Structure 1
Amino acid sequence: MYFEEELRLLLLSRHTLMYVVTDEENRLEFTIRQIAGIKLGMSLYTWDFIDGYSLNPNCIYEAKRNPLAALEFIDTTESTKPQVFLLKDFHVFMQDVSITRKLKNINQNLKRTGLYIIISASDIQIPVLLQKAFTVLNFPLPNIREINLELNRLFSVMSIDLKVDREDLVLAFRGFSIERIRKSISKLISSQKPIRQIYQNILEEKKQLIQQTDLLDFYPVNNNLEDIGGLANLKDWLKKRSCCFSKQAQNYGLPLPRGILLVGVQGTGKSISAKAISKQWNIPLLRLDVGKIFGGLVGESEERMRKMIRIAEQSAPCVLWIDEIDKIFTRLTSNSDSGTSNRVLSSLLTWLSEKDSQVFVAATANNVLSLPSEMLRKGRFDEIFFLDLPNIKERYNIFEIHLKKMRPLTWRNYNIKYLSQRTDNFSGAEIKQLIVEAMYNAFYEQRDFSTYDVITSIENVIPLAVTDQSAVNILQEWAKLGKVRLASKSI
């Protein structure tokens, strides 16, 4: 209801030029008609490049294929009644100097004449000369109430009775437009597939929608917490929050979890832990590639950050995995981006502090020294976990997990205790690679690999997990002071 109330207030306070970002023209038109036409008693005109003006018999097909004539029509309109003009996709013409000048001229008269111009567009493309004149609004995708109303209408019209939980179905359609929901339901009915596949179909469609944005990846999840060796404190923390987004948790009064920051040594399970959260909690995993945020045009990076946040919130509940978040802040030392990195950082930090959506942020960082103090303070994340090199008990667990996968029938034949003793200062990723190397060597000799082959791999490898010992020392000191929490239990 936020958009409807905001639009009503803007109309009442004589904000005459508005710019609405949306891909749902029909739903926006319906909403404007409800607010401006029914509640405020204003007339509504709509214009698009192909058909010109419509909805009003006095101007049908007026200004077809002529955006300047569309503005001329508004400028010459005389009426004692306030009127709203919805111009669809008009942003593509606003770079033309005649259009820009005409809008500036019209703006002087709109308040006096009681006329309002609303431009709908899929993204923000406002010329610099007009930026101060426009009020920008984001038209949100349907909320839970709107989705529920649309499903009720569809099921009534189509005379269908899906044997599924209605609340779960509504949540599954979060992030879909009304038109997309209609197509999804029609596709399901037409395909005559079993109803149990409806959630899988919705998940596939949501995956396609997110990948089309070229900002986030809908990441497949194949790992669970049992695939991670050690990290008992972290796994225990995550398991206790497995039902954090459920209706029961909301009724209980639990606040929504914000996220966690995983810092520490490379190869100790930060990325796999982030992926396992999605599997454990049974919600989608979205991965942000930090490099995709930064663009070459002025304002492009900030817009991409806002768009990323919008997509994540529309897809909630979900896990947003920001891998190697420290890469964002290495740019802050550069003076070549005219403050772009600082503005992107500010947008991200503000969202992390103020977000109230069901988006759980799982961020990972290798170099804690690159992270600004604002990122590490309490309130950005629920918890900061330090993932150190595995201790001997955890190394035993890591060997056991990988050997069970690779040799499920004979894994007990390997001297795991001795191998865990020989791999001090090895990370979990390096331990896995030791086994892989042993398998390659044995396969080349046309035999199965043995404990001795793994020992040979150990002797030929120097562990390189700790690339910045100073950062690790700081994290260990912070753990003693309680600034960060150890992901593993001490032995």
Structure 2
Amino acid sequence: MELDTSWINSALEKRQSNYSSVICFESNDPVRLKQLRQYLASHEDYKRVEVYSFDPWKGLETEVRGRRIPVTESKTKEWDPSQAYPIASVDAALTHMDGKLKRNKTLFLLLNLDILRSGQLPDERQRTLWACLQSWALDSEILASGSCVFLISEDASLVLDEATLNLCVFQKVPPPSDKERLQLIDRLSAECGVKLTYPIETLVIATRGLTLYQLEGILLESYHATGTFDIKRIKQLKTEFIQRSELVEIVEPEWGFERIGGYEAVKKFVTENIINCIKDPARAQKFGVPLPRGVILFGPPGTGKTLFARALAKEANLPFINLKTENLYGMYLGETGRRFSEAIRLSEQHSPAIVFVDEMDKFGQRRGTAADGASEETRRALNQLLEWLGDQNRKSIIVGTTNRIEDLDPALKRAGRFDYKIPLLYPGEKARRRILEIHLGIDRDNQGRLLKGRNTPPLGMNDAALEKVLDELTQMTRGYSGAELELLVIRARRIAFNDRNANYMTSDHLMKAFRDYTIEESDRKGEIEFYYKQAESNTDSQAFLEELRKDV
């Protein structure tokens, strides 16, 4: 299996130019550590060089012909094997290696040091590590000897402070490419005797974002459970891996715009300006149309912004990644920033995808309006979001939502951050009619005739009577949100269920639910006008606004 070594080559080129003798690789994939070891063992410049490694659990070890042997030191001046003890602490390991790195060309691997971070403030072990690496980074004797120190960490910011990190060669290890995953799938297919019943490219795409270690584990788990590489089980296992972080979750949307009642103008606009570009990138490139980078969905609560974002992902045939903003904030200074960085890393690792950021005003509020003690962390989160939005190498398509777009920081709404700001207002007449039908489990054929589905309750009405009550409810529910229309239907179902003399839902049950569940019309009228003005002032496509006026 031929793995990409460009990340190793890039770092070693900087070491050879004497930029620094300390290289920090950021990766959470054990396969990459194994790859690094094999690379160094076979490279002409390093294969005869002494190699040492330190792990907080294993202590200091020397690597001899593929075997790792504990390094010991005697507590007596004269060497006494009975008084020799393994070097187990980070301080002792650093002291022991200092002379070796300066005297002869030596490689030293520092592993699993993330666990040194125990709280908000660094402890003595971390301060010693920082001081040592800062000294080693530009030490003339170490640079002259050709020695190199490798620190491999899942998150470098958990191990090193900014001053130390700035003196290191820093290299993010890229996630496995499609080619690397294809090779691993091919190898395991041959070893397990698995013959795929679907194109192998489907599995390659479905496993994007997994490390090579995770991919191998998931494939073998699927094989032992089902005797094959079951694509549905593999997607489920992948989702479980991602959800362990509690920062993001991956969802496979079940349905697209067919389950969105009404909003035809919005569907048309999004299809033409976003989905078509994603589905036909070659044509988009031919006409110089950039691929979409994100949209803001705004409007009153309950109008289906989350529902619409999921349906968009389904229509675009992309994974839906939910950024769990409620879990981003930490209790320690700087913890929010680290969590946000990890959430961004996970999102990009599984992209191209629709990344959903609900209630962006949580951290995208106008600067200066936050008055509590968490305002500094909120500003940091906003700055990270802005940096992510502006990253030209970003693969994710960000869909953010807000109920009050006027409260968002102006930097978020500036041209270039998001492609479009799209309003989802209170549903118009056609939309309300279709939303009611969807929640009653009713569809229509090509001729517009009513079709009852699996979710349709037993109805004690013929089609004409059903059309009549739907007409009446559509007129009476002006100003209702999609969520309120759904609740109205649920209440009607409950009323019918609790009516022990009824074997069917009737128009009386629907009307009783309406009379029992009403909204304050005068307040809602003001909200409708307010949000429509918001749409006019924040939507920059006049053609879309014209279509929107017809729709609502």
User: Shorter-normalised TM-score: what interval?
Assistant: 0.7 to 0.9
What amino acid sits opposite 2:71 in the alignment?
E
**Mapped pair 1:297 → 2:297:** no
What amino acid sits opposite 1:53 in the alignment?
E
Separation in 2 of the partners of 1:344 and 1:140?
A: 24
What amino acid sits opposite 1:451 in the alignment?
S
What amino acid sits opposite 1:334 in the alignment?
A
The structure-2 alpha-carbon separation of the partners of 1:345 and 1:467, relative to structure 1 and needing over 3 Å to count, comes to farther
Q: How does 1:212-231 map to 2 (within 5 A)?
A: 212-219=244-251, 221-231=253-263
Q: CA deviation at 1:359?
A: 2.3
Separation in 2 of the partners of 1:149 and 1:30?
A: 15
Q: CA deviation at 1:343?
A: 2.1
Q: 1:257 aligns with which of 268, 292, 314?
A: 292
**Mapped pair 1:77 → 2:100:** yes
**Mapped pair 1:276 → 2:311:** yes
TM-score (norm 1): 0.86
Q: CA deviation at 1:264?
A: 0.8
**Mapped pair 1:146 → 2:183:** no
Number of the residue aligned with 2:457:
407
Q: Which moved more, 1:298-307 or 1:72-81?
A: 72-81
Number of the residue aligned with 2:76:
none
The structure-2 alpha-carbon separation of the partners of 1:80 and 1:411, relative to structure 1 and needing over 3 Å to count, comes to farther
State, as a whole percentage, how many aligned pairs show the same letter.
Answer: 23
Q: CA deviation at 1:200?
A: 0.7
Number of the residue aligned with 2:158:
125
What amino acid sits opposite 1:360 in the alignment?
I
Q: CA deviation at 1:127?
A: 5.2
**Mapped pair 1:8 → 2:43:** no
User: Structure 2, unaligned stretches of length 5 or more?
Assistant: 73-85, 118-122, 443-454
Q: Which protein has the larger Cα radius of gyration, Structure 1 or Structure 2? A: 2
What amino acid sits opposite 2:519 in the alignment?
I
Q: CA deviation at 1:185?
A: 2.7
Q: CA deviation at 1:179?
A: 2.0
Q: 1:364 aligns with which of 398, 401, 415?
A: 401
Secondary structure in structure 2 of the residue aligned to 1:55? strand
Q: How does 1:75-474 map to 2 (within 5 A)?
A: 75-77=98-100, 82-93=105-116, 95=123, 96=125, 97-107=127-137, 109=139, 110-123=142-155, 124-126=157-159, 128=161, 130-158=164-192, 160-193=194-227, 198-219=230-251, 221-239=253-271, 249-250=281-282, 253=285, 255-330=290-365, 332=367, 333-335=369-371, 336-337=373-374, 339-403=376-440, 404=442, 405-407=455-457, 410=461, 412=463, 413-414=465-466, 415-446=469-500, 447=502, 448-460=504-516, 461-463=518-520, 471-474=530-533
Q: CA deviation at 1:308?
A: 0.7
What amino acid sits opposite 1:490 in the alignment?
K
Secondary structure in structure 1 of the residue aligned to 2:379? helix
Residues 67 and 93, structure 1, Cα contact 8 Å, conserved in 2: no
Separation in 2 of the partners of 1:485 and 1:82?
A: 67
Residues 217 and 287, structure 1, Cα contact 8 Å, conserved in 2: yes
Residues 383 and 484, structure 1, Cα contact 8 Å, conserved in 2: no
Q: CA deviation at 1:160?
A: 4.4
Give CA deviations for 1:152-174 in whole Å, capped at 9, x if unaligned.
33344455443431222211221
Separation in 1 of the partners of 2:278 and 2:176?
A: 19
Residues 233 and 489, structure 1, Cα contact 8 Å, conserved in 2: no
Secondary structure in structure 2 of the residue aligned to 1:381? coil
The structure-2 alpha-carbon separation of the partners of 1:130 and 1:273, relative to structure 1 and needing over 3 Å to count, comes to same
Number of the residue aligned with 2:82:
none
Separation in 1 of the partners of 2:243 and 2:224?
A: 25
Number of the residue aligned with 1:61:
70
The structure-2 alpha-carbon separation of the partners of 1:411 and 1:478, relative to structure 1 and needing over 3 Å to count, comes to farther
Q: CA deviation at 1:360?
A: 2.5
Separation in 2 of the partners of 1:36 and 1:348?
A: 41
Separation in 2 of the partners of 1:59 and 1:395?
A: 69
Number of the residue aligned with 1:490:
550
Secondary structure in structure 1 of the residue aligned to 2:158? coil
User: Structure 1, unaligned stretches of length 5 or more?
Assistant: none
Separation in 2 of the partners of 1:79 and 1:206?
A: 45
Secondary structure in structure 1 of the residue aligned to 2:149? strand
Residues 174 and 315, structure 1, Cα contact 8 Å, conserved in 2: yes
Secondary structure in structure 2 of the residue aligned to 1:329? coil
Residues 71 and 102, structure 1, Cα contact 8 Å, conserved in 2: yes
Separation in 2 of the partners of 1:348 and 1:291?
A: 15
